[in-house]
Structure 1
Amino acid sequence: MHHQHRMMYVSAGLCLLACLILTVDLTLGLRPNKNIAFTFILPAGTTECFYQTTAREDSMEVDYQVIAGSGLDVGFVLISPSGYRLISDFRRSDGIHMVDPTEDGDYRLCFDNSFSKLSEKMVFFEVIINSQSSIGGAQDEWVDMTMMESTGYKLEDIRAKIDTVYQHLERTRQIQTLLRTFEARDRYLLEDNLWRVSFWSCVNLLVMLAVAVTQIYTLQRLFDNTKRVCT
């Protein structure tokens, strides 16, 4: 009898482990990752456009930053699939924009550097899609599935906890990506300021040396002329 109870507990544990694995597969496998993060060089005097496909009733967040380049500014335009201009930024260094709900189709994201004739820009942008269709499809798979009464847990509770952990991890990844872009831009500004300080320090040093040499030469000529007149 004791052996039968032990086998029952082992079977329940294996069942719980299998359900956990199935939960992870459903949570991660049925939730396609539509988020993109991209860094590119925007040449001077040009405009670059990117396209992002969305479904109806989703939400989309667009974050962008100018990491390097003179002025650290670009123009940004977001155009809907129906052709309407939703967002228009002019000469901004960064921006965060939300579209909720989205339309079914391709959104166009354009970055403009046509106002700059000499300086290229390094731009980072991230598009975050919160899809409702993938969440709904995953929930349909869990409607009639429950755990054994001896465990005291339901698959829906486990799925909710894993879904919460997934959302927190995804948001953490997004924040870390933004922090990396902040660090890259700060490093660029630091290196640019260091170069300027070093350059003008060298210029000032050369000017001081030139003034010193000129003064010494002038004094020598003055004393030489005085000596000749006295003789």
Structure 2
Amino acid sequence: MLKKLAFLVVATLVTIQSVAAFSIDVPPQEQRCFVEMLDKDDNLHVSFQVGDGGNLDIDFWITNPSGELVEDARRSPSETFNHVALTKGRYEYCFSNAFSTVTDKTLSFNVIVVKAYVEDTSKSVNRSRWIAAYARTHKADPLANELRELAAGIEEIVNEQEYTIARERTHRNTAESTNWRVMWWSLFQSGLLFVVCAFQITYLKRFFEVKRVV
């Protein structure tokens, strides 16, 4: 039983080809694009969160090997996309700040590529492909389904944590900026009050001075 469970855990994990987390800055009037090479039926998962800059929004899209738009979001603060590749080839996803003229946008995003199960009929099957074939053969196994659901749940938790961290960073930056402005405004008011008081004292002192006629 333990051996079978270990096989199923590994089979679930080997289907995830790559997991990557990034943080980038997108200057105004510019865009940042990235490329993933996918096979047919691979699942490209992209989630992003704008953490700083302007109205915390950005344009996003995914294009297939033919250059056709398959997913997009306009001026969005955060989104999650799951796209299943219909054809093998080069898939490009971009973050664009072209609509902004002065403000940089800082964002964090995750990319997960989940490989489709592929049965290898070759005699020289390596271990990872053998495990994938095993998982495919036992795809109706309730335990395998539970493991896949668990993996999806963990992925969702990670995305929520990253969203919370990005929002916390944004609120912290706003609070620090507000505190800084309040401090300087208070110092300005104190200085202005001191100048006004000095002027009033000097003026009143001159007003009550007795002028002698020589």
Give the TM-score normalised by structure 1. 0.68
Q: Which residue of 2 aligns with 1:196?
A: 181
**Matched letter for residue 191 of structure 1:** E
Residue range with higher mean Cα deviation, 58-67 or 211-220 = 58-67
Q: How does 1:44-193 map to 2 (within 5 A)?
A: 44-86=28-70, 87=72, 89-90=74-75, 92=76, 94-98=77-81, 100-103=83-86, 104-114=88-98, 116=100, 118-133=102-117, 140-142=133-135, 156-193=141-178
Q: CA–CA distance in 2 between the matches of 1:53 and 1:143?
A: 22
State the shift of 1:39 in Å: 0.6
**d(CA) in 2 for partners of 1:139, 1:64:** 29
Structure 2: which 5+ residue stretches go unaligned?
Answer: 120-128
1:128 deviates by 4.1
* Structure 1 residue matching 2:144: 3-state secondary structure: helix
SS in 1 for 2:211: helix
Question: How many residue pairs align between the two structures?
Answer: 201
User: Could you tell me whether the CA contact under 8 Å between 2:49 and 2:109 is conserved in 1?
Assistant: yes
SS at match of 1:96: strand
CA contact (8 A) 1:32 1:134 kept: no
Aligned to 2:211: 228
Shift of 1:189: 1.8
Q: Output one character per residue of 1:68-122: Cα deviation in whole Å (capped at 9) or x when no partner.
A: 23443444343333223452524x4x13153544343333233333555554332
Quote the offset at 1:38 in angstroms. 1.0
Q: Does 1:32 align with 2:41?
A: no
Q: Select the structure of larger CA radius of gyration.
A: 1
The one-letter code matched in structure 2 to 1:41 is D
Residues 165, 65 of structure 1: alpha-carbon distance in 2 compared, 3 angstrom cutoff: closer
Sequence identity (%)? 24
Give 1 or 2: higher helix fraction: 1
RMSD of aligned alpha carbons:
3.3
Instruction: Call closer, same or farther: CA 1:120–1:52 in 2, change over 3 Å.
Output: same
Counterparts in 2 of 1:172 and 1:223: CA distance versus 1, 3 Å:
same
Determine the C-alpha separation between the residues in 1 that align with 2:65 and 2:202.
Answer: 74
TM-score between both structures, scaled by the size of structure 2: 0.73
**2-structure distance, mates of 1:168, 1:185:** 26
